[in-house]
Amino acid sequence: MLTQKLKQLKTLFAEMDRALIAYSGGVDSTLVAKIAYEVLGDRALAVTAESPSLLAEELEDARIQAAAIGISHQVVQTHEMENPNYTSNPVNRCYFCKSELHDTLKPLAQKLGYPYVVDGVNADDLHDYRPGIQAAKERGARSPLAELGVTKAEVRELSKHLDLPWWDKPAQPCLSSRFPYGEEITVGKLQRVGRAEIYLHRLGWKNLRVRSDGDTAKIELPPEQIKEFILTTNLPTLVSTFQEYGFVYVTLDLEGYRSGKLNQVLTQAIR
């Protein structure tokens, strides 16, 4: 089954002939970039959008991974922070982010002679609240993984099968996802969240979120790691460091990390 889907992905890219990949450096878009490069070679181009909502570590990872794959890689600037529809942080914020992304990538692809812009949306994403998917579709982007029914688990299996060392890389959505809907997003707020997460990464904690709620930083870790975190972390130093970044209060979420946690308010509103 897995080898069949890999074959189908390769066939899909062969039919495209040339493709520009919306490449974040996450496990999904990296798999797409890898397969595109295997099939198309220098007729595939990976493009990463740089903005304040991208963690600096993620941009560096994207560069390293693209170099390891061998695919040509470009970085472009996006300006979603100039759009009040985005910075006001409505529930469909992601729509405006992806609109800006694909309004940047589509003209670039046309200019460089790439008939297709493809992304890393997988089949599981279609069943989650992802308003950005609609924005991409409206601009003609294609999602090979979703088209062929490749799930997130299969993305990781395929990545491991292809010997990609980052096959188990934790998901890392844009920094704006750390804010509750309705809280205004600013460059300063994004920077303090980013610095806080990088600080924790350097302490050895990889799969985590620092949620921002006003002046409060809420640290989320996998539930099974919470006890170890409390026992082994110099908490006074951590608190003072976060305060240097601009937070006033620092808390630990006892429920633990759960992807898409801030979307639970949408589910509750429907009930």
pLDDT of residue 263: 63
Query: Tens digits of per-residue pLDDT, 118-152?
Result: 999 999 999 988 999 999 999 999 999 999 999 99
pLDDT of residue 269: 45
Helices 152-161 + 27-40 axis angle, to 10: 50
Please give the span between the terminal C-alpha atoms of the chain, in angstroms, as a whole number. 38
| DSSP secondary structure code for residue 142 in this structure | B
Give dist(CA 199, CA 248) in Å, integer: 17
Query: Tens digits of per-residue pLDDT, 152-189?
Result: 999 999 999 999 999 999 888 899 999 999 999 999 99
Rounded mean pLDDT, 204-225: 96
pLDDT of residue 187: 96
Is residue 256 packed enough to be buried (19+ CB in 10 Å), middle (13-18) or exposed (0-12)? middle
pLDDT of residue 271: 40
Rounded mean pLDDT, 222-238: 97
| Consecutive H or E run containing 109 | helix 93-112
Q: 51: Cβ–Cβ under 8 A, 6 or more apart, which residues?
A: 77, 78, 79, 80, 81
Work out the pLDDT band at 270, boundaries 50, 70, 90: very low
Query: Tens digits of per-residue pLDDT, 26-78?
Result: 999 999 999 999 999 999 999 999 999 998 889 999 999 999 999 999 999 99
Q: Which domains does the chain have, with CATH numbers?
A: 2-161 (3.40.50.620), 175-270 (3.30.300)
Query: Tens digits of per-residue pLDDT, 78-107?
Result: 999 999 999 999 999 999 999 999 999 999
**Nearest alpha-carbon partner for 26 in 105, 119, 123:** 119
Q: 47: Cβ–Cβ under 8 A, 6 or more apart, which residues?
A: 20, 21, 22, 23, 73, 74, 75, 76, 105, 108
- Residue 29, by phi and psi: left (phi above 0), alpha (psi -120 to 50) or beta? alpha
Entry pTM: 0.91
